[in-house]
């Protein structure tokens, strides 16, 4: 009976997000003992341990502190999210808009030098230290903006926004950026002083990146969140003559009904992080002149990741992101493969398939399933042209550019983020 009393108290407390400590558990044990077993002594460490096992309790790290009104707010937020999802589905059904024409777009920030917060070390090590190429690149970010359809399609083009001190590229850097835009035809590049999208950047993204994917002569829907420059940006619809409805996701509901947040960006970062990790190690050990913060590396890395996510094997994963947001999907998904499962599992110790290579495999291509080493994936720019793609990159010129970069002793300084 004491155990059930403690279970009831814990359940009620956690239902209201009340912070529980060991002292609270002992207090409830004492209350239960007085009510049900006054003659028993239940304050031993062994009883406390057995009670924790019985109730399956763990002393967990608090991941988020909330106000006392959070529980009430959460119900309102859930209802707002559900109402929005129903409105989107109703609009799509009433206007006979196919899943291929229903889009969600969002932006996500990437550290210039991404790294996991964990590292393998020997048991008992007091301080776990790890080396970065540049500590500034661990705090500064660039932003990417994607758009994905309800049919599981990633947009043909995407935008990279760099953080520049004065909100514009210097003359020498601008020359390089112009060259990148010319040869990476599916990548648009902008900059801002904060590294975040402002209204002008969002309008540029809409006109150059998203609008070409809007189908002419058919109905289209674009879901945007209410944050930053894209929230209630009235000018966007004036930039297109196509049949497009922009619907804004209610504030504080994006974690419930924004497909990009629910199924895209975590997978994208899971693909980018290993590429950056090898780049960092190679630079630190003198095997490469390429830094993780080089603009060329960032463009190459993001470009290849975008191309990989457009593989057919990831369509169910992206459809599931919409399902997770409770949207109606024409063909519901039950099973799907993640980036880790497709690209990085079951490749340990295997060799690159390229002739006369012999290097250890780094990744499995999501398009052709070839096992590739880091050099053949990144520096040989392993890109697959997508059927119907109008913005494919100039692969031979990209390879030449990477080769010249590696041969230039000052290249890592010329192209590095300040």
Confidence of residue 30 (pLDDT cuts 50, 70, 90): confident
Q: How confident is the model at residue 9 (pLDDT cuts 50, 70, 90)?
A: very high
Q: What percent of the chain has pLDDT over 70?
A: 94
Percentage of residues in the chain having pLDDT higher than 90: 58
Q: What angle do CA 343, 349, 353 make, to 5 degrees?
A: 65
A 10 A CB-CB count for 250 gives 17
Express each pLDDT in 271-315 by its tens digit: 999 999 999 999 999 888 899 989 999 999 999 999 999 999 999
What element of type H or E holds 188? strand 187-192
For residues 194 and 162, give the distance between their C-alpha atoms in angstroms, rounded to a whole number.
Answer: 9
244-271 pLDDT, tens digit each: 999 999 988 999 999 999 999 999 999 9
Separation of CA 383 from chain center: 21
pLDDT tier, 410 (very low <50, low <70, confident <90, very high otherwise): very low
pLDDT at position 73: 78
Q: What is the pLDDT of residue 415?
A: 61
Task: Give yes or no for a contact between 101 and 149, defined as CB atoms under 8 angstroms apart.
Answer: yes
Contact 51, 3 (CB under 8 A): yes
Q: pLDDT tens digits, residue range 135-154?
A: 777 777 899 999 999 999 99
Report d(CA 158, CA 106) in Å as an integer. Answer: 11
For 269, counting Cβ atoms within 10 Å of its Cβ (0-12 exposed, 13-18 middle, 19+ buried), the class is middle
The predicted model gives 36-56 an average pLDDT of 83
**pTM of the predicted structure, to 2 decimals:** 0.83
Q: What is the pLDDT of residues 82-101, one digit of tens each?
A: 999 999 999 999 999 999 99
Q: How far apart are CA 103 and CA 219, in angstroms?
A: 11
Q: Which residues of 364-401 are buried (b: 16+ CB within 10 A; e: fewer)?
A: bbbbeeebbbbbbbbbbbbbeebeeeebebeeeebeeb
Where in the chain are the domains? 2-55, 107-116+132-192+253-414
Is the pLDDT at 417 greater than 70? The verdict is: no
Which tokens is 100 given? 């291929």
267 in helix, strand or coil?
Answer: helix
Beta-sheet strand order (sheet of 158-163)? 187-192, 158-163, 141-149, 102-111, 220-224, 244-248
Please tell me the distance from the alpha carbon of residue 283 to that of residue 291, in angstroms, as a whole number: 6
How large is the average pLDDT for residues 320-329? 94
pLDDT confidence of residue 112: 85
Return the residue matching tokens 């002419």.
216
Element holding 190 (H helix, E strand): strand 187-192
Report which DSSP code applies to 412.
H
Q: What is the 3-state secondary structure (H, E, C) of 289-311?
A: CCCCCEHHHHHHHHHHHHHHHCC
């Amino acid at each position: 009976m004491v155990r059930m009393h403690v279970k009831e108290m814990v359940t009620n407390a956690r239902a209201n997000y009340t912070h529980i400590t060991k002292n609270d558990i002992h207090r409830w044990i004492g209350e239960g003992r007085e009510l049900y077993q006054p003659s028993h002594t239940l304050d031993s460490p062994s009883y406390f341990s057995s009670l924790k096992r019985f109730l399956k309790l763990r002393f967990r790290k608090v991941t988020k502190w909330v106000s006392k009104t959070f529980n009430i707010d959460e119900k309102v937020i859930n209802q707002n999210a559900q109402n929005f999802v129903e409105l989107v589905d109703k609009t799509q059904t009433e206007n006979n808009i196919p899943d291929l024409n229903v889009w969600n777009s969002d932006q996500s920030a990437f550290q210039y030098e991404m790294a996991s917060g964990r590292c393998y070390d020997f048991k008992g090590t007091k301080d776990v230290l790890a080396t970065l190429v540049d500590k500034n690149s661990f705090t500064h970010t660039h932003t990417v903006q994607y758009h994905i359809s309800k049919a599981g399609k990633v947009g043909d083009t995407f935008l990279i926004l760099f953080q520049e001190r004065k909100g514009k590229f210097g003359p020498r850097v601008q020359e390089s950026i112009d060259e990148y835009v010319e040869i990476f035809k599916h990548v648009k590049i902008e900059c801002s002083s904060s590294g975040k999208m402002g209204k002008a950047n969002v309008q540029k993204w809409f006109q150059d990146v998203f609008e070409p994917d809007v189908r002419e002569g058919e109905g289209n829907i674009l879901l945007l969140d209410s944050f930053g420059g894209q929230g209630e940006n009235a000018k966007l619809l004036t930039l297109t003559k196509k049949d497009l409805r922009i619907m804004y996701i209610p504030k504080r509901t994006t974690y419930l009904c924004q497909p990009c947040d629910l199924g895209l960006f975590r997978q994208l970062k899971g693909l980018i992080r290993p590429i950056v990790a090898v780049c960092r190690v190679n630079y630190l050990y003198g095997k490469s002149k390429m830094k993780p913060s080089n603009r060329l590396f960032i463009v190459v890395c993001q470009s290849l990741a975008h191309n990989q996510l457009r593989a057919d094997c990831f369509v169910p994963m992206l459809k599931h992101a919409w399902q997770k947001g409770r949207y109606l999907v024409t063909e519901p998904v039950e099973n799907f493969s993640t980036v880790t499962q497709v690209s990085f599992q079951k490749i340990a110790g295997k060799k690159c398939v390229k002739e006369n290579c012999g290097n250890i495999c780094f990744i499995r291509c999501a398009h052709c399933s070839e096992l590739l080493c880091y050099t053949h994936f990144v520096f040989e720019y392993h890109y697959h042209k997508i059927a119907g793609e109008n913005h494919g990159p100039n692969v031979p010129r990209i390879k030449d550019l990477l080769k010249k970069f590696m041969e230039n002793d000052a290249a890592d300084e010329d192209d590095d983020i300040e």
